[in-house]
Amino acid sequence: QVQLVESGGGSVQAGGSLRLSCAASGLSRGYYWMAWFRKATGKEREMVASIETTGRTNYRDSAKGRFTISKDNAKNTLYLQMNSLKPEDTAMYYCALDYGLVRYWGQGTQVTVS
């Protein structure tokens, strides 16, 4: 069974940095579409960044120039390097992976910027 486990969240001052990780298990190692989503209190869930099976990356405008998504295909591990954090980045961050007809989700890791 596919499982995703996020880590690396925490509290940080504005302008600081965090690196989130997402470890996938229960499937063969290789290339998968993966992404980071976030949901702030009182707001809708939104996609922050994604990485395609080709390695192409995509970012929402507010994250461009500050966030970097990357993946280690041999380990099925996803990363999100977040720099120059702003209070508006405060949210629960979720990892997602697409396999076949199913999108799998992690439990989330909280990021708080003050």
In the prediction, which pLDDT does 35 show? 98
In the prediction, which pLDDT does 15 show? 98
- Count of all residues that appear for the chain in the document: 114
List, for residues 15-42, the tens digit of each pLDDT value.
999 999 999 999 888 889 999 999 999 9
String of DSSP letters for 59-81: E-GGGTTTEEEEEETTTTEEEEE
Q: Using CA atoms, how far apart are residues 114 and 111, in angstroms rounded to an integer?
A: 10
- Residue 68: CB atoms within 10 A of its CB come to 15
Q: Which residue type is seen at 51?
A: I
* Residue 98 β-bridge partners: 33, 103
List, for residues 36-91, the tens digit of each pLDDT value.
999 999 999 999 999 999 999 999 999 999 999 999 988 899 999 999 999 999 99
Is the pLDDT confidence value at 92 over 90?
yes
Which residue in 23, 18, 19 sits closest to 97, CA to CA? 23
In the prediction, which pLDDT does 30 show? 81
